[in-house]
């Protein structure tokens, strides 16, 4: 298990540090100690977009905690699995503003039964939400793809930010648009593909 306190330079006076604890646990026989790495450059390699160098070249992880430009969490264990046998491997990450809470989460989910129970609760909650939203399985992937363009910092967002022309929210009001919610504009190349739009936003 590794404990890592983020010590990045604060941009604001009220900004808090984060505690991150990661743990790899299994019921399979381990060979040797757990290795870990928090430096992206050491693990992946500089300007490397292929398989991480630490994996490709079987380089032992540094097992060092400290300041790093680009932080990651990588854990490595060698395990022994007997023929026709099976086991479980849990990779736990807890991130909290308080060290005690981060440790509490790790200790709680170090018990396999608690991990299984949590997955069951999340699944039941997700199924209930899907029924309420009247979302069917075949449309979930479409909704997730659309949501990712709204929520996450994608290359599409960076392309927009680089444009010199920017507008204020109030510029939308004359069109009857509040601008309080994200807006996605979809362009289709062929009219025959309009069914994709209709299917995607049928229940929205």
| pLDDT 10s digits, 49-95 | 888 999 999 899 998 887 778 888 899 988 898 898 888 888 899 99
Mean residue pLDDT across the chain: 80
| Tens of pLDDT, residues 3-45 | 555 444 444 555 678 888 898 888 888 888 889 999 988 999 8
pTM over 0.75: no
What is the distance between the alpha carbons of residues 195 and 204, in angstroms, rounded to a whole number? 15
- End-to-end CA distance of the chain: give it in Å, rounded: 43
Per-residue model confidence as pLDDT tens digits over 153-169: 666 666 665 555 566 77
pLDDT digits (tens, 9 = 90+) for 97-126: 998 999 999 999 988 889 889 999 999 998
Sign of CA dihedral 38, 39, 42, 47: positive
User: Which runs of consecutive H residues, i.e. helices, occur in 19-178?
Assistant: 40-44, 53-56, 99-109, 112-132, 137-151, 155-161
Q: Which pLDDT value is given to residue 154?
A: 67
Over range 178-185, report the average pLDDT.
73
């Amino acid at each position: 298990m590794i404990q890592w306190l983020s010590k990045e330079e604060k941009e604001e006076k009220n900004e808090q540090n984060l505690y991150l604890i990661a743990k790899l646990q299994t019921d399979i026989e381990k060979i040797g100690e757990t290795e870990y790495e928090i430096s992206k450059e050491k693990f992946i390699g500089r300007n490397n977009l292929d398989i991480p160098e630490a994996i490709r070249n079987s380089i032992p992880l540094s097992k060092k905690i400290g300041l790093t430009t680009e932080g990651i969490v990588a854990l490595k264990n060698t395990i022994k699995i007997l023929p026709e046998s099976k086991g479980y491997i849990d990779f736990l990450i807890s991130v909290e503003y308080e060290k005690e809470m981060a440790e509490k989460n790790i200790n709680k989910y170090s018990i396999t039964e608690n991990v299984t129970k949590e997955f069951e609760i999340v699944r039941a909650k997700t199924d209930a939400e899907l029924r309420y939203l009247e979302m069917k399985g075949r449309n979930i992937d479409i909704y997730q793809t659309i949501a990712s363009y709204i929520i996450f910092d994608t290359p599409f967002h960076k392309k927009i930010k680089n444009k010199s022309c920017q507008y204020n929210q109030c510029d939308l009001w004359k069109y009857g648009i509040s601008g309080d919610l994200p807006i996605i504009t979809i362009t289709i190349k062929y009219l025959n593909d309009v069914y994709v739009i209709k299917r995607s936003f049928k229940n929205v």
